[in-house]
Structure 1
Amino acid sequence: MKQEIGQIVVNHAHCDQPLLDLFVALSGVTSGTANILVQSLNLKAGSMTKAILDMAKMRGTGLHPDILGRLTTAISDYRKLSLLRNEVAHWQWSPSPDGTQAAEVSNIMRRDADGSVVSKEFTLHQLKQLSVGLIATFSALDLCARLTPYSDFPEQAMKQVFANLDNVSTKVKDALLALPEPSAEELP
Structure 2
Amino acid sequence: MHDDADVGAMALHLTVRIDERRTEPEVWRAVIRSGEEADAGARVLTAATLHRVHYADPSWAEQLREAVPDLSSIGSAFADRELISMIDESSLFTDSLCVISSVDIDAAVGSLVSHALVRGVARVFDGDTIAILLTAAFPAAMGGPVVDPADVAARRAHWASIGFVDIPGTAAMLLPVGSRP
Is the structural similarity TM-score above 0.5?
no
More helix by share: 1
Bigger Cα Rg: 1
